């Protein structure tokens, strides 16, 4: 491969890793700082991607209207897509939080699996909503035409990277505020947080909604990168499990860890593809399963031998406290 | 409608077998075993291995047991699959959960480990058998019998009900008549008290996984006899299993039995109005309603 090809490959790698880093940061608010066990990330991934797709794409006309069915197509610019994705995901998180956040922690986990499965089934079966299993294609990209199309990925990387950085910065600020300290107090000991006069349910709800909104943004970024989405993308494997492994590998409770983990695990995921390419031809079709098996084993190893992840949590919460 | 109700009872008995195992594990180990559905998948595929690969190569005879759709090979494979998955469950405990218990990890970490284990089990199934839908006995005609009131039911389905009922009775006797069963119930009630009374908790845990794994395998094989098997089946069962266990009150074996039947009937009745692929979503909506109205379940303790 010549140099240009390698560079293009690295750029596409960095785009996907950064998109996953956005999810990992969203999960870090919920799990890393508040201890909320959300294992339905794929649901927010899916909702974010579809919402932004419907907001930014035009309603199909003429002959296309026979092949592509969608509920609406607003043809609005990219920022509206991001905003819409965040708002809808926040709303869904609010609805799922109401019955589950007062109960034991694993109820939220089961309910989030349920929401992820349910939305995948809805998008798969209801063709009027977003074209059913065939999904939506040819989604618009932000600032298209500003640079020649062969260089577009560099521009998109810049967009994704800046959005990731803004989210990182916002979470870092929030987590070092009194609000962030309440979340950590709830994670460590709900009862004493409640005894200090904090509304545990309401703070958990904010954390769940805030984290899910970020995941919605991640979904939108994904949709406008691949330009094509269909329900089979948002499986528990690609949409939930790998993000958990990323956060656990990098270090939950550490935003830099969340980003590092996303790049690292995405690197392992891509790297194992080179390995499985060496397999005999007859095993090729099952190669992805071997790769996921490796990722699964990786999670178990982390959980047993290094549950704090590579970076671990920063204990220093304020710059006014001396080391 | 009546027919759907009967099919719901059949599906519900399968869900109940899985949910009983789930609730046993929940009661004794106090974490949500997200790998339980995939233990069902493992059971179905181990039975497939015996019925379609090992037994034919050993030349085990396979006369069909009319009126059922299967033969002697399945009769032999059924307990073997239960034993094998009991072994898988114990192996997962020894390699993963026990290490986390010894480190004093929280219940959520154990649940996460179980989620990882569920993907590992499913990936192994996918690597060994591929992603296709499979039947234990492909191409066998499965005529239905006509019951009074126009309900059509296949002999296989009657047998599924019988086997499930038999296993539940067996479990009841095990929990109430044997020393180990009593030790399991005691541990579920109060682990610390059980330990100071001289109950060996690790042995109880091993036994709990064996029971849960065997019942999950039975559920998986019965589902395969009723319909077809595929690697995602266990994941699709996860929501109904949890809905049933929560409805019956977490940790309550008889509650899980009733919960399983209710969820099964609910899922089948929904197919009169919704696409059958929405079944997991129906179980999910049912579960949310339970959580809103009575989160401790029907048979759970009062708050």
Residues B230-268 pLDDT 10s: 999 999 999 999 999 999 888 888 999 999 999 999 999
A132 touches chain B (CB under 8 A): no
Q: What is the DSSP letter of B273?
A: T
Do B108 and A35 make contact, defined as CB atoms within 8 angstroms? Answer: yes
A285 touches chain B (CB under 8 A): yes
Contact across the interface for A110 and B242, Cβ inside 8 Å:
yes
Q: What is the pLDDT of residue B233?
A: 93
A287 reaches B (C-beta below 8 A):
no
Query: Which residues in chain B are contacts of A113 at CB distance < 8 A?
Result: 34, 238-239
What are A65-122's pLDDT values in tens digits? Answer: 777 777 777 778 889 999 999 999 999 999 999 888 888 778 888 889 998 989 889 9
Sequence-distant (≥ 6) Cβ neighbours of residue B54 within 8 angstroms: none
Q: Is B89 exposed, middle or buried (0-12, 13-18, 19+ CB in 10 A)?
A: buried
Q: What is the mean pLDDT of chain A?
A: 87
Residues A122, A131 contacting (CB under 8 angstroms): no
Residue of B nearest to A237 (CA): B119
pLDDT at position A8 over 70: yes
Contact criterion met (CB < 8 Å) for A110 and B239 = yes
Q: What is the dihedral of CA A86, A89, A91, A95, to 10 degrees?
A: -160
Contact A286 B126 (CB under 8 A): yes
CB B140 within 8 A of CB B155: no
Contacts of A304 (CB under 8 A, 6+ apart): B96, B99, B100, B103, B113
Q: Which residue of B has its CA nearest to A240?
A: B115
Q: Which of A145-159, B32-46, B125-139, B148-162 has the highest mean pLDDT?
A: B32-46
Instruction: Answer yes or no: do A125 and B278 touch at CB < 8 A.
Output: yes
Tell me the pLDDT band of B303, cut-offs 50, 70 and 90: very low
Average of per-residue pLDDT across B38-45: 96
Q: Of B23, B27, B98, B119, which to mutate for an interface test with A (greatest number of A Cβ within 10 Å)?
A: B119
pLDDT number for residue A282: 73
Residue A1 pLDDT exceeds 60: no
Is the CB of residue B173 less than 8 Å from the CB of residue B185?
A: no
What is the percent of chain B where pLDDT is above 90? 51
Which DSSP state fits B230? -
User: Do residue A99 and residue B242 have CB atoms under 8 angstroms apart?
Assistant: no
Cβ contact B303:B296 at 8 Å? yes
**Residue A159, min C-alpha distance to chain B (Å):** 33
| Neighbouring C-alpha atoms within 13 Å toward the C-beta of B130 | 7
Phi/psi at B152 (5° precision)? -95, 135
């Amino acid at each position: 491969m010549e140099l240009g090809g390698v560079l293009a490959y690295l750029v596409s790698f960095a785009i996907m890793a950064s998109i996953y880093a956005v999810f990992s940061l969203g999960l870090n608010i919920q799990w890393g700082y508040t201890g909320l066990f959300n294992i339905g990330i794929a649901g927010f991934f899916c909702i974010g991607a579809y919402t932004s797709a419907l907001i930014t794409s035009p309603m199909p006309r003429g002959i296309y209207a026979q092949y592509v069915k969608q509920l609406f197509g607003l043809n609005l610019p990219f920022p509206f897509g991001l905003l819409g994705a965040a708002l809808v995901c926040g709303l869904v998180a609010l609805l799922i939080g109401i019955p589950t956040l007062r109960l034991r922690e694993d109820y939220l986990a089961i309910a989030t699996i349920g929401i992820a499965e349910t939305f995948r089934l809805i998008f798969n079966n209801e063709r009027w909503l977003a074209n059913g299993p065939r999904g939506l294609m040819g989604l618009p990209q932000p600032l298209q035409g500003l640079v020649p199309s062969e260089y577009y990925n560099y521009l998109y990387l810049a967009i994704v990277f800046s959005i990731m950085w803004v989210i990182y910065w916002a979470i870092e600020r929030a987590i070092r505020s009194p609000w962030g300290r309440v979340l950590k107090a709830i994670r460590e000991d709900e009862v004493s947080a409640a005894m200090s006069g904090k509304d545990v349910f309401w703070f958990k709800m904010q954390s769940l909604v805030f984290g899910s909104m970020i995941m919605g943004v991640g979904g939108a970024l994904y949709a406008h990168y691949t330009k094509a989405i269909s329900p089979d993308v948002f499986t528990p494997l690609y949409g939930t499990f790998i993000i958990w492994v990323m956060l656990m590998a990098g270090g939950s409770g550490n935003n830099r860890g969340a980003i590092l983990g996303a790049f690292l695990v995405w690197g392992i995921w891509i790297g194992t593809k080179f390995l499985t390419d060496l397999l005999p031809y007859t095993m090729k079709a099952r190669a992805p399963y071997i790769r996921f098996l490796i990722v699964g084993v990786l999670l178990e190893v982390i959980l047993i031998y290094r549950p704090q992840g590579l970076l671990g949590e920063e204990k220093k919460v304020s710059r006014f406290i001396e080391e | 409608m009546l027919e759907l109700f009967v099919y719901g009872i059949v599906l519900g008995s399968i869900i109940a077998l899985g949910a009983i195992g789930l609730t046993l594990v929940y009661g004794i180990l106090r974490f949500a075993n997200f790998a339980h559905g995939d233990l069902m998948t493992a059971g179905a595929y181990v039975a497939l291995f015996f019925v379609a690969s090992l037994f034919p190569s050993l030349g085990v005879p396979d006369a069909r047991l009319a009126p059922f759709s299967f033969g002697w090979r399945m009769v032999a494979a059924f307990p073997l699959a239960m034993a094998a998955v009991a072994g898988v469950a114990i192996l997962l405990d020894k390699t993963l959960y026990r290490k986390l218990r010894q480190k004093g990890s929280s219940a959520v970490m154990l649940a996460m480990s179980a989620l990882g284990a569920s993907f590992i089990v499913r990936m192994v199934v996918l690597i060994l058998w591929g992603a296709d839908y499979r039947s234990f006995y492909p191409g066998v005609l499965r005529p239905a019998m006509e019951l009074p009131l126009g309900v059509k039911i296949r002999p296989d389905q009657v047998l599924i009900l019988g086997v499930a009922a038999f296993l539940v009775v067996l479990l009841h006797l095990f929990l109430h008549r044997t020393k180990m069963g009593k030790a399991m119930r005691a541990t579920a009630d109060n682990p610390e008290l059980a330990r100071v009374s001289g109950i060996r908790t690790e042995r109880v845990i091993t036994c709990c996984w064996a029971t849960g794994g065997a019942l999950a395998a039975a559920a998986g094989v019965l589902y395969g006899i009723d319909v077809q098997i595929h690697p995602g089946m266990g994941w699709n069962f996860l929501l109904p299993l949890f809905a049933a266990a929560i409805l019956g009150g977490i940790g309550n074996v008889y509650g899980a039995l009733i919960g399983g039947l209710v969820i099964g009937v609910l899922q089948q009745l929904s197919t009169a109005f919704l696409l059958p692929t929405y079944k997991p979503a129906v179980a999910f909506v049912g579960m949310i309603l339970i959580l809103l109205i009575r989160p401790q379940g029907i048979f759970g303790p009062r708050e």
